[in-house]
Structure 1
């Protein structure tokens, strides 16, 4: 009986020892997966050197490992600022970033969790960076030169977050709005520009019409000058005779069958012009 009790105690002790060994074994290592970084803390104090992906030994029971996701994170963060011309400008940025794995220990010591990083670091630095970018231009320039606004914002944000171990990969302006007062000003400006363009068009049209009148007057004067020169030249009277006949014919008057034109004066040098007007009518 006694031997049986000793055997039972030995079996129980062996079971306890086995359990302790298993527990110790489980708590003596940690596996860090790809895309993660670990921070080892012993008795509440973070140890230098981040635990990168792979198998790591750690003291059991007195140590913990905080795991940080170092893959790309995306957050949408609102921001508001005054522009160079003191107009209110509101924006929303989509920020893609990741934690520098080598800086995980410092992030654990100073910022703590990823949520703290977003609310205490990224959000306020986004606001400050937007103020820097917006203050360099007017609200109209911020809208019409949106890419330049984004470049200034990216430069300021990247420089500010780099010292916290946060790597900015990309930003996007997903919303950019301005005050109702500026919206009305833009609308009024567009209306004024349209009216000005219309006035310019009307002025140009009037100028073109005036120039056309001048050209017509010049053409008429030139025609009269040429006609006068023709009349002075030899045979000019023939031209007048033909013009008279044409006018008579166009007027619809009954013309004589035979018409004699020319001077009957003996001293006249003009040559009599005799023809059958029936030929004209035919």
Structure 2
């Protein structure tokens, strides 16, 4: 009689699988991430785990994942676009005391080689602790260096460059890297906006008047040219008459008195030739 196969090995394997899944003695680091590890016996490891599968001691080792790909942190007036819901736009004073409202986005990423330091010194909430206050501070400082007319005009790129340079130096100490700073929108006070609109209207009116004046000037020049042409024609005609006086006299006699052979005017005889056969 055959003996039944023992179920003990199957039970042992099943128990191991259950324990493995329950205690998760491993961590899988996804693409674009690093893992800082806190140990109950050693504290934070002086290194970070790269992408892939890693064994850990359950309960003793606790991993913390950090995304090291480029991320965007926005502070804007539109309620659903920023990291903080609601009106999260910045307000700042220009060099001449005008208030402006700013929507800004910052592209950044944690330093992949110092994730363990970031975790140890700052923690996972580094955007609220480091990035956000630094963005607010350096944006206001940069805006305060320009008068409102330059903020309104073509100096936006210069403002972005100053914010980026200072922000990069500030957050580097917290193991963050800045890729880009984007001033998405700058809004001015109603009084300044009305002044700009009035200035634009005045400029348009001035341009329209300039066009009218230029058109009148061209018409005047055209009339002068025409008058000069007529005067020149009269002068040429006078010269032709002076050079051909006899022809004029003949034409005059013929038209005034077709049957008269001669006319005496001012002591001068104007003769007309007698047609043949008379």
Structure-2-length-normalised TM-score:
0.70
Contact 1:158 1:168 in 2 (8 A): yes
Out of 120, 123, 128, the residue aligned to residue 112 of structure 1 is: 123
Distance 1:95 1:66, change over 3 A: same
Whether 2:221 is the aligned partner of 1:211: answer yes
Whether 2:131 is the aligned partner of 1:122: answer yes
Out of 73, 80, 91, the residue aligned to residue 91 of structure 2 is: 80
- SS of the residue corresponding to residue 241 of structure 2 reads helix
Match of 2:143 in 1: 134
Out of 86, 108, 112, the residue aligned to residue 97 of structure 1 is: 108
Deviation at 1:207, TM superposition (A): 2.4
Match of 1:47 in 2: 45
Match of 1:38 in 2: 35
Aligned residue pairs, count = 248
Structure 2 unmatched ranges of 5 or more: 1-7, 76-88
Distance 1:221 1:240, change over 3 A: farther
**Structure 1, residues 96-141: CA drift from partner, whole Å, max 9, x if none?**
322122221221122212xx32222111222233234434444343
Contact 2:23 2:59 in 1 (8 A): no
Whether 2:228 is the aligned partner of 1:231: answer no
Structure-1-length-normalised TM-score:
0.69
Deviation at 1:243, TM superposition (A): 9.2
- Aligned mates of 1:180, 1:274 — CA distance in 2: 97
Normalized per residue, the structure richer in helix is 1
Distance 1:270 1:35, change over 3 A: same
Contact 1:84 1:136 in 2 (8 A): yes
Structure 1 unmatched ranges of 5 or more: 1-10, 246-254, 276-282
Match of 2:166 in 1: 156
- Aligned mates of 1:243, 1:174 — CA distance in 2: 88
- SS of the residue corresponding to residue 91 of structure 2 reads strand
**Structure 1, residues 229-275: CA drift from partner, whole Å, max 9, x if none?**
23322x23534876999xxxxxxxxx989476974469737552789
- SS of the residue corresponding to residue 36 of structure 2 reads strand
Contact 1:260 1:273 in 2 (8 A): no
- Aligned mates of 1:148, 1:42 — CA distance in 2: 47
Contact 1:241 1:261 in 2 (8 A): no
Contact 1:263 1:271 in 2 (8 A): yes
Contact 1:52 1:101 in 2 (8 A): no
Deviation at 1:180, TM superposition (A): 1.0
Deviation at 1:188, TM superposition (A): 0.6
